[in-house]
Amino acid sequence: MARKNVAAGNWKMNTNISQGIELAQTISNAGRDKEVLVILAVPFTHIFALQKKVKTSSKVILAAQTCHHKTSGAYTGEISPTMLADMKVPYVVLGHSERREYNHENNSLLAAKLRAALDAGLKVIFCCGESLEIRKAGTHISYVKTQLTESLFQLDAQEMKNIVIAYEPIWAIGTGETASPVQAQDMHAAIRDMLRKKYGKRVADNTSILYGGSVKGSNAKELFGQADVDGGLVGGASLNGQEFVQIINSF
Ligand code: 13P
């Protein structure tokens, strides 16, 4: 089984429900040049309406942008992985740098969230990536290795089938500054090598690794053309239906 091409949109805290429906319809109605798994990580408030109004099935599937690490309890404002599974949401994004920064999510909390999400039957897009300071210091590969080792690598080889990794350098998120195709490829190859060492060739070859950080219609083709880049996790450009369709058709 070869790994999949994945185009994932992360809407973050954007759009109202009617805008979300229109956007998702544009994406699900568009033609596809190739087989691509399209995932939309939408606000919790949109999930029910999108399931009703958009043909989510095989053309577009939904993800939540985070979940709690417990299944239920006195955690005001939180959404548990079992609630998402109950709503038949297949994916959840965990470890996004914005959650790490603004919600103080560290590697050990993310390990607990990963455990809870997989136990609930969800698949996970797991994000990693370094700050500009770390990139400048030249320690980005070992930094990402620590992020993966302290959270993701608690999983066994069988569970890794339910994981998509997204490498998102923080300095490229929402800045308009994209990692060069060579920078992306170097990190993706390093991550695949970590997977090979930890789990063996089969898991390494079959795990999709996405690049995120200012992916646009104009640069997606070159990024996705790199040997170890299996697609993108797209923020800003995923809010424009036509542009996201262009990104989906960049494989
Ligand atoms: P941008 O594409 O807006 O840089 O955001 C990337 C991102 O954070 C996706 O999760």
Q: What is the pLDDT, as a whole number, of residue 59?
A: 81
Q: What is the pLDDT, as a whole number, of residue 33?
A: 82
Domain boundaries, the chain: 6-248
Question: Which atom of ligand 1 is least distant from the CA of 236?
Answer: 3
d(CA 174, CA 234): 10
d(CA 49, CA 179): 35
**Interval between CA 238 and ligand 1 midpoint (Å):** 9
Q: Which of 98, 105, 130, 168 is catalytic?
A: 168
d(CA 179, CA 165): 17
Q: Name every protein residue with a CB atom under 6 angstroms from any ligand 1 atom.
A: 10, 96, 168, 173-174, 212-215, 233-237
Q: What is the pLDDT, as a whole number, of residue 38?
A: 96
Closest residue by Cα to atom 2, ligand 1, is 235
Active site residue 35: no
Closest residue by Cα to atom 1, ligand 1, is 235
As given in the structure block, the two tokens for residue 206 are 């079959």
Along the 251 residues of the chain, how does pLDDT read in single tens digits? Answer: 579 999 999 999 999 999 999 999 999 999 888 899 999 999 999 999 999 988 756 689 999 999 999 999 999 999 999 999 999 999 999 999 999 999 999 999 999 999 999 999 999 999 999 999 999 999 999 999 999 999 999 999 999 999 999 999 999 998 888 899 999 999 999 999 999 999 999 999 999 999 999 999 999 999 999 999 999 999 999 999 999 999 999 99
Q: Which of 91, 99, 215 to mutate to test the pocket of ligand 1 (most atoms within 8 A of CB)?
A: 215
**Interval between CA 180 and ligand 1 midpoint (Å):** 15
Question: Which atom of ligand 1 is least distant from the CA of 233?
Answer: 9
Fold category of 6-248 in CATH:
TIM Barrel (3.20.20)
Q: Which of 94, 101, 168 to mutate to test the pocket of ligand 1 (most atoms within 8 A of CB)?
A: 168
Active site residue 168: yes
**Interval between CA 121 and ligand 1 midpoint (Å):** 26
Close Cβ partners of 108 (under 8 Å, ≥ 6 residues apart): 150, 151
**Interval between CA 73 and ligand 1 midpoint (Å):** 32
Closest residue by Cα to atom 5, ligand 1, is 235
Close Cβ partners of 5 (under 8 Å, ≥ 6 residues apart): 34, 35, 36, 37, 208, 224, 230, 231, 251
